[in-house]
Amino acid sequence: MSMDRIHAVENISYTILQEMADEFEKAEAYVHLSSVARFSFMLAQKRGENAELAYIAGSLHDLYAFTHDRKEHALHGSRLAFGILKSLNIFKDDEIDAIVTSIRHHSDKKRVHDPLSEILKDADVLDHYLSSPYQRQSEKDSLRLKGLSAEIGFKL
Ligand SMILES: [Fe+2]
């Protein structure tokens, strides 16, 4: 049986994470990418957007940050994602473009971009919050969390 597209990407993403030296950081990376992928999927379903592409964006979005460094990781990460998606040969150009665009925008939490970018940003903020719920959130994160609370119907 052939792998579905979500797992084809996740496979590559997780294989790349294997090169991380620090075991604790590596575990954090797996959890964060898989959590953001799943939250993105849910938010996309809720908002009537493409949930498959949202999942894939989530599972790639911080790959560069975890394996290289965080400086301009949204831009570098979008290029890394482009190479991975192109090489798989199972995505149309407009699908690759949508995923890559959302990754390029994902650090820009104060601005509002296209729906897929917004899903990725909100899912990222949601996982930052849920990975340390008793820590004070940054101003831009708490604004998004407020919106998310209202959308999903319970207090975050
Ligand atoms: Fe992230």
The 10s digit of each residue's pLDDT in 91-113 is 999 999 999 999 999 999 999 99
From 1-5, 93-97, 114-118, 119-123, the region with the lowest mean pLDDT: 1-5
Query: Nearest to residue 52, comparing CAs of 105, 91, 13?
Result: 91
What is the CA(62)–ligand 1 centre distance, in A? 5
Number of folded domains in the chain? 1
Residue 140 has a pLDDT of 86
Q: Which domain holds residue 73?
A: 5-152
What is the CA(124)–ligand 1 centre distance, in A? 5
What is the CA(154)–ligand 1 centre distance, in A? 22
Give this prediction's pTM: 0.96
Residue 146 has a pLDDT of 95
Q: Tell me the Cα Rg of the chain.
A: 15
Tell me how far apart the terminal alpha carbons of the chain are, to the nearest angstrom. Answer: 40
Query: Nearest to residue 118, comparing CAs of 127, 106, 130, 104?
Result: 106
Q: At 117, which CATH number?
A: 1.10.3210.10
What is the CA(41)–ligand 1 centre distance, in A? 15
Question: Does 2 have pLDDT greater than 80?
Answer: no
Question: Does 1 have pLDDT greater than 60?
Answer: no
Distance CA 147, CA 90 (A): 35
Residue 3 has a pLDDT of 74
What is the CA(37)–ligand 1 centre distance, in A? 10
What is the CA(88)–ligand 1 centre distance, in A? 23
The 10s digit of each residue's pLDDT in 125-154 is 999 999 999 999 888 899 999 999 999 998
The 10s digit of each residue's pLDDT in 6-64 is 999 999 999 999 999 999 999 999 999 999 999 999 999 999 999 999 999 999 999 99
